[in-house]
Amino acid sequence: GSLPKWGGGESSQFLAPKAMKKMYKACLKYPEWKLKHNPHFKPWLFPEQSRLPALPLSELSLQHADSLENIDERGGAETKD
């Protein structure tokens, strides 16, 4: 479903700043943490280190942004074409 307008306003005023503060504090501690936890493992820099299975290109499809503008999410369940 959708959120009421007051819910969006409340979350953007209180929850979002609180979450950002927590994320900022965690980011400050990350370099020290990473030195102790597998410091040379950086799959975001070195894709060959990735432990995730490769996704076959045949399973990918192009999706254009203009096709996403009028999506009606009120129906609930997803349907496959």
Supply the pLDDT for residue 70: 67
The tens digit of pLDDT for each residue in 25-53 reads: 999 999 999 999 999 999 999 999 999 99
Distance, in Å, from the CA atom of 52 to the CA atom of 4, rounded to the nearest integer, reads 38
Percent residues over pLDDT 70 in the chain = 78
Distance CA 29, CA 37 (A): 12
Cβ partners under 8 Å of residue 41, min gap 6: 49
Q: What is the pTM of this model?
A: 0.49
pLDDT class for 1, splitting at 50, 70, 90? low
C-alpha 30: how far from chain center = 19
Instruction: Tell me what pLDDT residue 24 has.
Output: 97
